[in-house]
Every structure is written in structure tokens, then in C-alpha cells.
Structure 1
Amino acid sequence: MSLKYAVLAALLEGEASGYELSKIFDVSLANFWPATPQQLYRELERLAQDGLIEARVVQQERRPNKRMFTLTGAGREDLRAFAAAPPRRPTAVRDELLIKVQAMDGVDAEVTRAQIEERMTWSRAKLARYERVRERLLDGRSEEEYLAGSDRIGPYLTLMGGIGFEEENVRWCRRALALLERRAALTRQG
């Protein structure tokens, strides 16, 4: 999949500037489809050239003018066809930390422990951010009220996926740290 569909999906929320899209990516899409602002702006240009989005310029007095992007009918149709098609292949995990852990033998265990602790800190921070997004989405409603009254369920489901992913990261980090500690204790005894 290309960045194209992630951008089109983000624009389902409504008109947005490139800056606003980069914030949407940070909050709701980065967990499963990260992109830099530069990648987003390049993709926005391609999508506009392909007629899948439209751009309009908003004049600003004390700031540079900004471009606001919206989906076109062709963009909605392309996204709808993409969403209806089965995924081409299962998700593959590509995680640099896991490669480092795989290769940790012969490396000071404290280095690995610090890397795992750093991952746990990052995951906890993302969990806290995702919980704030969840509270904002629910807006004082219960989950059942949200599900019954919301026009769109996709953002909530992907948010739940992100929360589950980070919860699993924290669980794995705790388990890995406990096993490293147990191994160190056994080594000290032996």
C-alpha cells in the first residue's frame, strides 16, 4: 500500500491543510502508517495532479497563504474500492529493537535493558496520548453511545488497534526485562 490511501483516509475527516494532516497522522495514523511532513506534502501534490483531491488557497494576513485539501468524488471512489479489496498480504513486523534484542548476546545486557526501557517509555507515552484522543472522540459519551451515534467508526477502531499495539509493547517490555533480570540472577548464582 502506498501513502496515497492513508492520506485519502485522513481527508475523510474533512478539509485540512498539509499541517493539519501532519497532526492527524501524528495522532491517529502514525501507529500503523507513519509519514514525515515532507512525504505528506509530496503525496498531496500527486493526489491533486491525479484529481483525487482538490486544493484551494486560503489568504492569510500575517502568515503565508495556506492550501486546504478535500477529497474529490474520484478520490472517494478510489478509497472506497481500496477499502473493499482484501489486503494483499499479512502485516509484517519490522522493528529495529527486535533485531538488536535478537543480536544482544555478546553485548552488555544493560545496553539492551536500557533500549527496552526506552521502548516501554515511548509506548506508555503513546498510550497516554491515545487515551486523550479516545476521551476527545467519546466526548463524555460511553462507548455504546459513541457507537450508536457516530457517523464514522473507522477512526475509533484504528485507535483501539493502536492502543492494543502499545499495550502489547508494554507487556512485552515488562516480560523481557523480567527475563533479563532472571537470567542475570541465575548467572550471578552460577
Structure 2
Amino acid sequence: MALRHAVLAALLDGEYSGYQLTKVFDVGVSNFWYAAPQQLYAELTKLEADGLITGREVVQHGRPNKRVFKVTEAGAGELAGFAAAPARPLLIREDLAVKVHAVDVLDPTPVIAQLRERAEQAAVKLAFFEKILLRLRGDRDEESFLREGDRVGPYLSCLGGCRLEREMRDWCLETARTLSERSAHAGRTRS
């Protein structure tokens, strides 16, 4: 997936300025695609040049004017073509997993600390995504929202983000516990 498809998907909810788009990415898209603000601004420029989005100037009083963007028919077609193409399997590049893989020949102490830190980060992201889910479904329960909600795509992608963060948190905690127990046991057998 290219960043362009993530931007097009984010713009389906309406017109956004570059600044607003960075907030949308932080809140709703970050569970499946990370992009730095400068990457988003560059992508908006490319998408507009390619005719996949259109921008317009909004005059603001007391603040600088801003440009807002929305998806064009060509952009919707690009997104439809992307959606119809076969999905690639999830590719993971996780440096913490490499450290765990090599932990048998390393001092496990820093790896255990990093696992615990990552578990905390995952827990924070999980809580954040769960708040988004509540906001998206409003006063409905999940089952009725999924059955009758206006746009379930953002909700479903956020559910996926919750599951990934929950699994990462659990794996980190279990792995840190296992390594700590092994380290304590090894220390007792050496004594």
C-alpha cells in the first residue's frame, strides 16, 4: 500500500487541510499507517498534481488562509482499484523481536526493560483506540453499530488496531516475564 491510498481513504470523510489531515492520521489512521506530517504534505501535493484530489483556498479571519482537500472522482477510482487488488500479507519489521530472537547470547536485562516499555506503549495506544471506538459508535452498542452504522470502515480498522496493540502488549509482558524468570533461575543455578 502506498501512502497515497491511506491519504485518499482518510479524505473520504470530508475536506481536510494538511494540518487537519495530520490530526486524522494521529487519531484514526495511525493504527494501520504511520506518516510524518511532512510526508502527508508532500503526498497532498502529489495527489493534487495527479488529479486524485482537489484543493481550494479557505479564507480565515485573524489567521492565515488554509487549503482544504477532497477526493475527486479519479481519486475514488484509484482507491477502488486499490481495494480490488489482492492484499499483500502483513510484513513486519520489528527490532524488538530481533532482540528477543538473539537474547540467548545477550544480557537480557535491557531487552526485558524494552519489552516492558513497549507493553506500556501498546497499552496507551490500546486505550486511545478504545476511546476512538466509543466516539465512532456514539450511544450505540458495538453490534448494532456494526450492523447499522453509517461508516463502519474506520471502526473496523480501529478494531484491528486494538487487537494488534492488545496482542503486542500481551506478548511483551509474557516475554518479559519468561526472560526474567529464566534470568533469575540462571542466577540461582550459578550460585
Task: Please indicate the TM-score interval, normalised by the length of the shorter structure.
Answer: over 0.9
Give 1:100 deviation, angstroms: 2.3
How far apart in 1 are the matches of 2:17 and 2:176?
43
Query: Letter of the aligned partner of 2:120 in structure 1?
Result: T
Equivalent residue for 2:109? Answer: 110
SS for the counterpart of 2:93 is coil
How far apart in 1 are the matches of 2:185 and 2:99?
22
Query: Letter of the aligned partner of 1:40 in structure 2?
Result: L
Could you state the TM-score of these two structures normalised by the residue count of structure 1?
0.94
Count of aligned pairs between the two proteins: 189
SS for the counterpart of 1:6 is helix
Give yes or no for the alignment of 1:14 onto 2:14: yes
Residue 14 of structure 2 contacts residue 70 of structure 2 at CA under 8 Å; is this kept in 1?
yes
Deviations 1:136-157 (A, max 9, x none): 0111111122123322221111
Deviations 1:93-117 (A, max 9, x none): 1112112222334443221111111
How far apart in 2 are the matches of 1:180 and 1:105?
9
Equivalent residue for 1:25? Answer: 25
Equivalent residue for 2:173? Answer: 174
How far apart in 2 are the matches of 1:138 and 1:55?
30
Consecutive unaligned residues of structure 1, counting only runs of 5 or more, are none
Equivalent residue for 1:140? Answer: 139
**Comparing 6-15 and 28-37, the one that deviates more:** 28-37
Equivalent residue for 2:121? Answer: 122
Query: Cα RMSD over matched residues?
Result: 1.3
SS for the counterpart of 2:103 is coil
Equivalent residue for 1:63? Answer: 63
1:20-59 matches, within 5 Å, as: 20-59=20-59
**Comparing 114-123 and 56-65, the one that deviates more:** 56-65
How far apart in 2 are the matches of 1:185 and 1:103?
18
How far apart in 2 are the matches of 1:106 and 1:86?
40
SS for the counterpart of 1:151 is coil
How far apart in 2 are the matches of 1:51 and 1:12?
15
Give 1:2 deviation, angstroms: 1.1
Consecutive unaligned residues of structure 2, counting only runs of 5 or more, are none
How far apart in 1 are the matches of 2:183 and 2:147?
52
How far apart in 2 are the matches of 1:2 and 1:41?
15
SS for the counterpart of 1:94 is coil
SS for the counterpart of 1:182 is helix
Give yes or no for the alignment of 1:2 onto 2:36: no
Give 1:174 deviation, angstroms: 1.4
Give 1:86 deviation, angstroms: 1.1
Could you state the TM-score of these two structures normalised by the residue count of structure 2?
0.94
**Percent identical:** 48
